[in-house]
Amino acid sequence: MSLTIGQEAPNFTLTNQFGEAIELASFRGKKNVLVLFYPFAFSGICTGELCTLRDDLAAYQNDGTELLAISCDPMYSLKAFAEAEGYKFNLLADFWPHGATSKAYGVFNEDRGFSIRGSFIVDKAGILRWQVVNGPGDARNAADYKAALAAL
């Protein structure tokens, strides 16, 4: 399934690294949301991408924007990953049903069982305003997120 800019973003409720349920729709009317799908906790490119966001977190998580990073890893792996890397944003587990949210966003690799690098910006009304999908080995440019958020 591919998503179209201007359509309502698929809602989801996933567990974060602390076992808390986080629902995309809970940010409606409050914040824009940067939704990032990544293949695996503790993998090289994924760690690098998330560390880039961690090191400039105020640009991606603030009064107007929420950052949600999603992988198919279990919650306990995400907790260890967040602790090891000092992530102060939500890492969400799309673990069970395995990859259901990734599938809804069109970024699940069925053959390998993980999310590819999908990046989506959902506005305060719940509408998809920007998206980029990269292959598993293709790192994303965090400056692209800043530019897309600034355009809202």
In one-letter notation, the amino acid at residue 10 is: P
Q: Is 15 left (phi over 0), alpha (psi -120 to 50) or beta?
A: beta
Under 8 Å between Cβ of 105 and 37: yes
Selected catalytic residue, list 14, 46, 70, 92: 46
- Can you tell me the distance from the alpha carbon of 101 to that of 44, in angstroms, rounded to the nearest whole number? 23
What residues have CB less than 8 Å from 82, skipping those under 6 apart?
17, 91
Catalytic (active site) residue 72: no
Phi and psi at 68, nearest 5°, equal -125, 115
Under 8 Å between Cβ of 116 and 134: yes
| Residue positions annotated with a catalytic role | 46
